[in-house]
Amino acid sequence: MNPSESVIDFNHPCYLHPSDTLGTLLVAHQLLGVENYNVWSQTMRIALLAKNKLGFMDGTCSKDMIPEEMGHQWERCNAIVLSWILNTINKELSAGIVFASSAATVWTDLSERFKKVDGSRIYFLHREITTYSQGIVSISAYFTKLRLLWDEYEALVPPSSCGCVQSRQNGTHIAQRHLFQFLMGLNESYSTVRSQILLMSPLPSVNHAYSMIMQEESHRKHSSSNIGDDLVPFSLIQMVQKKRFTGICDHCKVKRHKRETCYKLIGYPVDFKFTKNKVNSNSASAVNSVYTPDSACSNEVMDSRGSRSQAPVFTQEQYNQILHLLNKEPAVIEAATSIAGSLQWKDEGDW
């Protein structure tokens, strides 16, 4: 190694840090073409500036400006910068520049091919900004995309940067426009917090408004999570309740209950009854059925065709009362019928 190369100051562009390797990926953006060249070039400039290698890209650190004894070191740095550029370019695009020997030449070539500052690109960005809305994405993703469109638009159409009063007013107008564009694209579910922001005086910055919307989104997520936690036990209870026993009692040989819950062994409850719908739909089969101790354990009876059907079942006492009513004298029933039939009138004299 040349002795002069071993004493290169770390602030010199030709200084190589141990982390400066060929496989380093400087930026996450990959150059795809005209559609994202501006974003890619800006991120690459920032990364190369941080690495102190921006001169190899813009030509301010060319080989003829370096002492002859550092020529080999310059070649190494140029090769590393060139590899960094190739690592962030689409494979289809990199095929045409893979044989280039200068990082500055490659950068100039890409700029001439993809840096198109024309009316169509500006129109496209302006349309995207004015029509972009949140949709189904999160607040964070929505704001990040909108911020990216703003930055690219201002890179193509830079605002005035002087310190005059008119320039400051233009800056205030641009900031207010960004706020309105951000609020306009929000979903209607954020209409309440949007109205609160618009009622503030003075109007907050777009970053402050974004922070308020994020707090609202976080509050909604926590609220929905708590409601879901409360509903889980209830849903589990419903699932357990719906899962009924379908086996046969080993005592009375009747389906849908176990020996531990067999009424024949443990006795019938006082309020043992069935729903009104079952009584109405199966009244005929209930009257024609014959009470037996075994049939009292279940609401299954045999119909005329020999198949089982659902029917109301009565206790012994209730069954005796029904028989008593059915065995009453016909005269009593006829008297009751005649009394009910006399309640008809046409004129006031019928009273």
Give residue-wise pLDDT tens across range 152-187.
888 888 887 777 888 888 888 999 999 999 999 999
Nearest CA to 13 among 103, 100, 110, 109?
103
Give residue-wise pLDDT tens across range 192-232.
999 999 999 899 999 999 999 999 888 888 776 655 544 44
Q: For the chain, which residues make up each domain, given as ranges?
A: 3-114, 119-146+153-222, 259-341
- The amino acid sitting at 82 is L
What global pTM score does this model have?
A: 0.49
DSSP 56-86: HHHSTT-GGGS-GGGHHHHHHHHHHHHHHHH
**Interacting residues of 61 by C-beta distance below 8 A, sequence separation 6+:** 13, 14, 53, 55, 74
Give residue-wise pLDDT tens across range 75-114.
999 999 999 998 889 888 877 787 888 888 899 888 888 8
Position 140 scores a pLDDT of: 92
pLDDT at 301 over 90: no
Cβ atoms 245, 258 nearer than 8 A: yes
57-61, 122-126, 172-176, 239-243: lowest mean pLDDT where? 239-243
Give residue-wise pLDDT tens across range 241-296.
455 667 788 888 887 777 778 877 777 776 665 444 444 444 444 444 444 444 44
b/e sequence 24-60, b meaning 16+ C-beta within 10 Å: eebbeeebeeeebbbbbbebbeebbeebbbbbbbeee
